[in-house]
Amino acid sequence: MDKDQVLNEIFNSDPFGILDVKPSVSNVRSSDERLIDSFEEIIEFYQNHKRAPEPNIHNINEYKLYTRLKSLREDSEKLKVCEPLDSYGLLKVKKKEINSIDDIFNDDSLDILGGEDAGLFDFKHIPKETTMPDYVASRKKCEDFCKFEQLFKDCQNDLRIGKRKLYPFRYEQQIEEGYFFVLKGILLYVANVGEKNNEKGKMNARLRCIFENGTESDMLLRSLAAELYKNGRRVTQHDDKMLDGMLGVDENDEATGHIYILKSLSKDPQIASIPNLFKIGYSSTPIEDRIKNAEEEPTYLMAPVKPVTSFQCYNMNPQKLEQLLHNFFGTSCLDIDVFDREGNRHTPREWFIVPLEIIEQAVEFIISGEIVHFKYDTEREIIVGK
């Protein structure tokens, strides 16, 4: 008998069906299947509401669908998987059609084309002539650099161990005496801010800037800001910074508590999917003691939390500071119902959808008293002037 005959005889002599084994079917969904399921949730939302999901921070489910749709639109690989199902054109960013001159004028959202009386060569926002400044700052050797050398060493060490952090430079108001910045890769320290003058509606002042390489410059505040916008970063204050203007605290000052910022470690998809979600709270006891039973408390969303940063308050009412922050970011307050172990419903009001660096900036503005001139733009996630 040849090999084929032997095998046939074996398979045909299987009265108990031992060899009749069907291939197993896996119940694990592929990544493409999960992606399609998530997109079908967006389609279902559109069918129910006749619109695409929007960044509605008061509706966690809609906000989650909005961020998911935004992610799909920006990922070419995901687009290929979901496009065959996109019967409503949700994956395409709609643009206004321009078919005529009227369409061009009607789409002038920035008012570039002006009114009927605006001439083609009438420029409203460009100066007719350019004048050179009377004085141009330049760097020179810092003769008393020994006074500042240890400050730079301490700052570098704080950055290395995470006590300080680097963030994008955003506002001229961040330039204050005693602050560090990074300009074109070089650490600089603002040793002095001269008399401030109002120039065309904006404040300006002559600075004394000390650079880590042993040089200094007396550039203008707005000149430094212009350079930092292009090639700079700001260095945050030390994590143990004091809320009395950051300077001048000694043994006679009274510690009155902490303002802390926490990040949720919840595994609930409704919470875990929200970016920049932080709790802003007050405590007169050590933060570690306050949060050790977080998963049992509705105010912590019934889940563990992680301290991100804290501010030690001196000679002030920390509850008032906490309330000021809550009011300032009120439009970004998380709106969610949380149920405790007994099934009772709670609505925590100390969680906000705001980038960490923006919260820190708001604290600085409250300390300086400038907060009254600003408001928080929820859509752009930045602080803007009123």
The tens-digit pLDDT sequence of the chain (386 residues) is 577 777 777 767 766 666 666 555 555 557 788 888 889 999 999 999 899 988 877 778 888 888 888 888 888 888 888 888 888 888 886 555 666 666 665 655 445 555 555 554 554 555 544 444 555 567 899 999 999 999 999 999 988 888 888 888 877 777 888 899 999 889 999 999 998 887 766 778 999 999 999 999 999 998 999 899 888 898 887 655 434 443 344 445 556 677 889 999 999 998 999 999 999 988 888 888 889 899 999 999 999 999 998 877 766 677 777 888 899 999 999 988 899 999 899 989 899 999 999 998 888 787 767 788 889 998 889 998 87
* Same-domain check for residues 265 and 319: yes
**Residue 240 domain-assigned?**
no
* Same-domain check for residues 56 and 176: no
**To 5 degrees, how large is the angle CA 283–CA 289–CA 293?**
105
Cα–Cα dist 248/239, whole Å: 16
Which amino acid does the sequence have at 207?
L
Domain boundary among the residues 189, 207, 235 is at 235
Contact 226, 181 (CB under 8 A): no
* Same-domain check for residues 375 and 261: yes
Instruction: Report how far apart the first and last C-alpha atoms of the chain are (Å, whole number).
Output: 95
Contact 340, 301 (CB under 8 A): no
Cα–Cα dist 378/330, whole Å: 10
Q: Which of 100, 82, 98 is nearest to 90 (CA)?
A: 82
**Residue 96 domain-assigned?**
no
**Residue 53 domain-assigned?**
yes
**Residue 110 domain-assigned?**
no
pLDDT at 243: 45
- Taking phi over 0 as left and psi of -120 to 50 as alpha, with beta for the rest, 321 belongs to alpha
pTM of the model: 0.43
* Same-domain check for residues 266 and 163: no
Please tell me the number of Cα atoms within 13 Å of 53 on its side-chain side: 25
Q: And the tokens for 290?
A: 């306050």
**Residue 249 domain-assigned?**
no
Residues 6+ apart with CB under 8 A from 363: 243, 259, 311, 321, 325
Which amino acid does the sequence have at 136?
V
Domain boundary among the residues 235, 264, 291 is at 235
**Residue 101 domain-assigned?**
no
Strands (DSSP E) contained in the chain are 140-141, 166-168, 180-183, 186-193, 197-199, 202-204, 207-211, 215-217, 232-235, 255-264, 277-283, 305-314, 338-339, 345-346, 351-353, 374-377, 382-385
Give the domain range for residue 201: 140-235
Domain boundary among the residues 235, 264, 294 is at 235
pLDDT at 244: 41
* Same-domain check for residues 203 and 278: no
Distances (CA, A) of 155 to 245, 284, 321: 18, 28, 27
**Residue 126 domain-assigned?**
no
**Domains held by the chain: number:** 3
* Same-domain check for residues 263 and 381: yes
- DSSP assignment letter at 29: P
* Same-domain check for residues 226 and 264: no
Cα–Cα dist 358/383, whole Å: 7
* Same-domain check for residues 277 and 202: no
**Residue 200 domain-assigned?**
yes
* Same-domain check for residues 364 and 259: yes
* Same-domain check for residues 287 and 192: no
* Same-domain check for residues 270 and 374: yes
* Same-domain check for residues 285 and 322: yes
Please tell me the number of Cα atoms within 13 Å of 288 on its side-chain side: 0
